[in-house]
Amino acid sequence: MNRGKIVSIIGAGNVGSTVAYSLAMQGTVHEIVLRDSKPDIAWGKALDMSQAAAVIRGHTKVRVAETASDLADSDIVVITAGSPRKPGMSRDDLLLINAETVRSVSRDIYKNCPNAIVIVVTNPLDAMTYVALRSTGFDKRQVLGMAGLLDSGRMASFIYEKLGYGSGQIRATVLGGHGDKMVPLHRYSTVSGVPITDLLSGTQIDDIVDRTKNAGAEIVGYLQSGSAYYAPAVATAMMCETILRNARQIYPCAVMLEGEYGYNDVVTGVPVVLGANGVEKVIEVTLSDEERTLFAQSVGSVKLLIDTLSDRRFFGND
C-alpha cells in the first residue's frame, strides 16, 4: 500500500504553523510534523490543528518531532526556524545566528531523510538556502528557497489595486534575491496575457515596483512586532502541493546557479520547473541590458552575505 505524504516543518512560529494549517485544511497531506526548539508550543499547535482537521472531516494528522529522528520518511521539509534581530545585534550577527540554526537543522534533515525536498523560508533567504545546500550532501535540485512566489503575489496584488480589474488574471514576475534589490520584471508581468506596460503608465509601474520591494517592511511597520506570515505561508504551501502532485509548473524559486544566467556558486531567485524531484529545470528568460544590470546587483547583494559568512569562517567550522 502507498504510504501517505509527510511534510515536516522546522520552526512552528508564525510562518511555520500557518504553512501547517494551510496544508491541513487542503487535506492532501497525510501527516504534518512540527519541530520547534520550544516543543510545548509545537504540541499545542499540533493538537489544535489536528482538531481543526477533524472539524472539517479531514484526515491530516499533525504531530510533533521531539527528536530529529522523528523527521524520517518526510517527503518535504520546510525550514522556518530562525531568530529575529535583538537590540544591539547587527544584521551580520543575525546572519550568523540564523546560518548556524539553518546549518544545524539542515544536517538533521539530511541525516534522517536524505531523499526529502527541502524548502527554506528563513531569512536572509538566498544566503540561508546556500547554507542548507553547502552544509549537507543534498543535490542542488533538492534544496530551494521560497520568496519569488511571495514577491510575485505581492506585485500582482499591487497591480490589481492600481488597475481595479483583472483579478485572478494577473501574472507578475520577480527575479533575483529576496531583498531590497529584487528585480520585478514588468515586461513579463501580464493581465490575461496583456503586458502591464500596455495597461499602466511608467510612473504607475514604478510605484508598483517600489511597493513590491518594500512590501515586507510595510507590513512590519503596521505589526510592529513580527513580520508577514499569511502570504509567505500560502506561497510555501503551494510549493509543497506542486511538488507532492508532481505538477511540473513554473514558479520563481531561489536555487543554486551553476552557469545559468552566467553565475556560479550563488543562490538567487529564477523561474524553475517544480516537480517531484524539486527543481526539475532552471528556466533562463531573456533579459534586457537594464534588467541584466539590476539582476547583477541583486546577485551581488547575496554574494556579499555569503562572503560575510566565509569571512567569519562559517564554512570552515566543520
Ligand X SMILES: NC(=O)c1ccc[n+]([C@@H]2O[C@H](COP(=O)([O-])OP(=O)(O)OC[C@H]3O[C@@H](n4cnc5c(N)ncnc54)[C@H](O)[C@@H]3O)[C@@H](O)[C@H]2O)c1
Q: Any contact of residue 146 with ligand X (CB under 6 A)?
A: yes
Residue least distant from ligand X (Cβ): 13
Candidates 8, 122, 142, 242: give the one binding ligand X (CB under 6 A): 122
Q: Any contact of residue 192 with ligand X (CB under 6 A)?
A: no
* Least separation in angstroms between CB 69 and ligand X: 15
Report strand pairing: 174-175 vs 183-184. antiparallel
What x-and-dash track marks residues 79-98 binding ligand X by CB under 6 A? -xxxxx--------------
* Neighbouring-strand partners of residue 76: 7, 117
- Closer of 41 and 163 to ligand X (Cβ): 41
* Least separation in angstroms between CB 41 and ligand X: 6
- Closer of 200 and 270 to ligand X (Cβ): 270
- Of 30, 59, 178, 186, which one is the catalytic site residue? 178
| Cα 115-112-239 angle, rounded to 5 deg | 45
30 is catalytic: no
Write out the three cell numbers for 299.
546577485
Candidates 22, 60, 74, 101: give the one binding ligand X (CB under 6 A): 101
Total Cβ atoms within 10 A of residue 227: 14
Helices within 91-167 (DSSP H only): 91-112, 125-134, 148-163
- Closer of 80 and 191 to ligand X (Cβ): 80
SS3 251: strand
What x-and-dash track marks residues 261-290 binding ligand X by CB under 6 A? ------------------------------
Element containing residue 256 per DSSP (H, E) = strand 249-258
- Rounded to whole angstroms, the Cα distance separating 297 from 264 reads 15
Helices (H) and strands (E) in the chain, counts: 9, 14
Q: Any contact of residue 11 with ligand X (CB under 6 A)?
A: yes
> Which of 5-13, 21-29, 52-60, 163-171 is the region at the interface with ligand X (rule: CB under 6 A)?
5-13
Candidates 37, 69, 115, 264: give the one binding ligand X (CB under 6 A): 37
Q: Contacts from 262-267 at CB under 8 Å and sequence distance 24+?
A: 263/299, 266/126, 266/130, 266/299, 266/302, 266/303, 266/306, 267/126, 267/127, 267/129, 267/130, 267/133, 267/145, 267/302
Cis peptide before 124 (omega within 30 of 0): yes
- Rounded to whole angstroms, the Cα distance separating 198 from 55 reads 47
- Rounded to whole angstroms, the Cα distance separating 136 from 258 reads 17
* Least separation in angstroms between CB 223 and ligand X: 10
Q: Any contact of residue 243 with ligand X (CB under 6 A)?
A: no
Candidates 8, 23, 36, 177: give the one binding ligand X (CB under 6 A): 36
> Which of 131-139, 196-204, 228-236, 298-306 is the region at the interface with ligand X (rule: CB under 6 A)?
228-236
Q: Any contact of residue 10 with ligand X (CB under 6 A)?
A: yes
Q: Any contact of residue 38 with ligand X (CB under 6 A)?
A: yes
* Least separation in angstroms between CB 180 and ligand X: 13
> Is the separation of the CB atoms in 173 and 184 below 8 Å?
yes
The catalytic residue positions are: 178
Residues that bind ligand X (CB under 6 A): 10-16, 35-38, 80-84, 101, 105, 121-123, 125, 146-147, 150, 178, 226-229, 232
